[in-house]
Chains A and B, each alone.
Chain A
Amino acid sequence: MNTVEDLCTLISSKITWGRGEEPQQLSPDTPLLEQGLLDSLAIMQIVAALDSEAGIVLPDTEIVAANFRSPQALWGVLENIRAGAAL
């Protein structure tokens, strides 16, 4: 999990894509919630995958709509958590 693109890939793998929707269409600015791409199940799966695949534990206080509105928004949170852990 080194770049926001890696995060896009992770999020994309937790979304059930319909026929004709290409997972790689996910960009850092994709409005995930506005487009209805994430339901509560997908959100919990993303949180679990961040823990198991990248060792990042997202505290409950960060699991809010503002942080999931786009991959970029979530990436910002992850960077903050890592900066906090490195101190």
Chain B
Amino acid sequence: MSDTDDVRLDGLLAAAARRHPGRPALTAQGRTWTYAELDRAVDELARQLAAAGLEPGDRVGVLAPKGPEAVLGIYAALRAGAVTAPLDVADPPVRTAHMVRGAGLSLLLASDRSLAGCRRAAEEAGAGPEPAEGVLDHGLNWVRTLPAAGKPAPLPAPTDRGGYILFTSGSTGRPKGVLLSHANVAHFALWAAAELALTEADRVGSQAALTFDLTTFDLFSTAAAGACAVLMPDVLRSFPRDVVGWLHEQRITAFYAVPSLYQGMLERGGIAEHFPPSLRVAAFAGEPFAPRPLERYLHLLGDVPLYNLYGPTETNVCTYSRVPAGWTADQETTIGRAVEGDVVDVLGEDGLPTDGTGEIHVAGATVFQGYLQDGALTDPTRTVRFRDGVARRAYATGDIGRITADGRVFLRGRGDSQVKRRGHRIDLLDVESAVLSLPQVAAAAVVAKDGPHYGEFWAYVQSDGGAAAAEEILAGLRGLLPLRMLPDRVVPTTALPVNARGKVDRRALAARTD
């Protein structure tokens, strides 16, 4: 038990509205909402959702572009007691439909702009050609994906009265819903707000999609501190120079992003010449920071603290390190020590704690409840004896690393088919399943490249159509996968190479330069 067990995410908003009713809570699309306004709007929306038939424990998806509607929709669903899943409007409807079915989402909230896409996803998920829908305040709408009688039973406690779902790439071609309790997310939110010393004077810059676990900081750490969440327009995300301009204009004081965005701002965004003077704390997560740009940033930041936060979606942030001011690129980077409330250990192949290299295991307050996939909840955690002799419910991250005697963890890569590209976690088998589902494909292997194309992943596809086939396969994938998951290249080949055991030789494919 921890002291965050009773904290609700929408309760963080209500508490801030009591403490700081007149302070700005949210700035987006040129409009600012105070805490009192935001909390009132959320209350009213939650009432409207209940009137539309939403019951505590129902699972609700919020399919809206990043903006006030999405934030209002998420908070209102949480307040109404729903297990709430932010969804990405840029995902193909087929993939959204997989999420709706797999996680048992019975209701979707959409903004006026995303309503058409929402209907398509609902229809694709089996709601029939004209799903029931209705209008809510603040440009929101609801669309029913499952009839009241077909709703899945509430999830076990503590998510029987609400929770949070973030989807990650799975190995079966179906996105996995990571089920988090209010307490799981709140524990991280409160820890981060305290560690980064957020106050009601902070303006937290929110640049990532709401489907990304980074934004639990933007929404909930911000609310915990009574600070203001400033949403960056989606269209700026691909333009580092615009991001730098936006940090200036919006006088952002706290910023949490993936290293590739920081690097883009350094290489193409002009942040070195035009450093935002308001910034007083920065954090990164999602992938390792390349050493040289990291050293560059430490110089630029001066006294401004820079945090390295680590953890898969299943545990949110479980280790952290404030990068030391004098750190240089020739030194190793650590992902740091366990956050308060979590315990981290490294276990060898024999399942016992090791001082050598092994798999990183996490136990504690931020560890998720299980996966929602194919309509069922499965809990992959197991009881593990840590080096202090205590047996704990632990999640095996699949990340390889080692831990020092003083508890600092060093990452060494992955033990499976999962890769990180531009901060996004992608399971290559997920991409491979999508390739294999195309009618013209007989066999395929999706591999992470070595050598000159390191950092990319390519799909080798058995097909005799040549270059035209590659185009057609890519077009087919576009309908199944989000852009961020498309292979960097599709290579048609007459046959896939096999190794001595007769299996596809992925190592040979990874090393090939064509």
Chain B residues whose C-beta falls within 8 Å of the C-beta of A77 in the assembled complex: none
CB <8 Å contact, B270 and A65: no
Contacting pair B422 A19 (CB below 8 A): no
User: Taking the complex as formed, is B441 at the interface, i.e. its CB lies under 8 A from any CB of chain A?
Assistant: no
Contacts A16-B486, A39-B483 supplied; 9 other A-B pairs, CB < 8 Å: A16-B474, A17-B475, A34-B235, A36-B90, A39-B238, A43-B238, A61-B270, A63-B268, A69-B235
Distance (whole angstroms) from the CB of A60 to the closest CB of chain B: 5
Contact B268 A18 (CB under 8 A): no
The reply to whether B478 and A17 form a contact with Cβ atoms under 8 Å apart is yes
Can you list 16 A-B pairs with a CB-CB distance of less than 8 A? A16-B474, A17-B478, A18-B479, A19-B475, A21-B475, A34-B235, A39-B238, A39-B483, A40-B264, A40-B422, A43-B238, A60-B270, A61-B241, A63-B241, A64-B239, A65-B233
On whether A63 and B239 interact (CB within 8 A), knowing A18-B92, A36-B90, A40-B422, the answer reads: yes
Please measure, in the bound complex, the distance between the C-alpha atom of A34 and the C-alpha atom of B235, giving whole angstroms.
7
In the complex the two chains form, is A19's CB within 8 Å of B241's CB?
no
| Chain B residue, CB-CB nearest to A17 | B475
Chain B residue contacts of A68, Cβ below 8 A: 239
Cα separation A24 to B264 with both chains bound (whole Å): 31
* B151 contacts A by Cβ under 8 Å: no
Contact with A along B92-111 (1 / 0, CB 8 A): 10000000000000000000
Does A54 interact with chain B (Cβ within 8 Å)? no
CA distance A61 to B422 in the complex (A): 22
Q: Do residues B239 and A43 form an inter-chain contact, with CB atoms below 8 A?
A: yes
Within 8 Å by CB of B235, from A17, A60, A61, A65, lies A65
Main secondary structure of the interface of A (DSSP, over half): loop
* Top 9 A-B residue pairs of the complex, sorted by shortest distance between their CB atoms: A40-B238, A18-B478, A33-B235, A18-B479, A60-B268, A39-B483, A65-B239, A65-B235, A65-B242
Is the pair A65, B476 in contact by a Cβ cutoff of 8 Å? no
Q: Kindly list chain A residues whose C-beta atoms are within 8 Å of the C-beta of B157.
A: none
Collect the chain B residues with CB atoms within 8 Å of residue A43's CB. 238-239
Range class of the B interface residue count:
20 to 34
**B residues near A64, Cβ cutoff 8 Å:** 239, 241-242, 245
Q: Tell me whether A19 and B479 are in contact (CB under 8 A).
A: yes
Judge if B237 is at the interface, Cβ distance under 8 Å: yes
Tell me whether A7 is interfacial, beta carbon within 8 Å: no
One digit per residue, 1 when the CB lies within 8 angstroms of any chain A CB and 0 when it does not, for chain B 471-496 equals 00011111100011010000000000
Bound Cα distance A39, B92 (Å): 15
Complex: A66 Cα to B363 Cα, angstroms? 46
Contact residues on A (Cβ < 8 Å of other chain), bracket: 10 to 19
Known contacts A17-B475, A18-B478, A61-B270; A39/B484 CB under 8 A: yes
Chain A positions 21-40 with a Cβ under 8 Å from a chain B Cβ: 21, 33-34, 36, 38-40
Contact with A along B217-233 (1 / 0, CB 8 A): 00000000000000001
In-complex Cβ contact of B476 among A19, A36, A38 (8 A): A19
The chain B residue sitting closest to A66, CB to CB, is B242
Q: Is B236 an interface residue (CB 8 A)?
A: yes
Q: Is there an interface contact between A65 and B236, defined as CB atoms closer than 8 Å?
A: yes
A61 vs chain B, min Cβ distance (A): 7
Contact A16 B90 (CB under 8 A): no
A residues 1-55 with Cβ under 8 Å of B? 16-19, 21, 33-34, 36, 38-40, 43
Residues of B within 8 A of A16 (CB): 474-475, 477-478, 483, 486
Q: Which residue of B lies closest to A68 (CB)?
A: B239
> When chains A and B are docked, how far (Å) is the Cα of A40 from the Cα of B233?
15
Residues of A within 8 A of B239 (CB): 43, 63-65, 68
Q: Which of B459-514 contact A (CB under 8 A)?
A: 474-479, 483-484, 486
Q: Report Cα–Cα, A33/B245, bound state, in Å.
A: 18
CB distance from B64 to the nearest CB of A (A): 14
B127-170 vs A, Cβ < 8 Å mask (1 yes, 0 no): 00000000000000000000000000000000000000000000
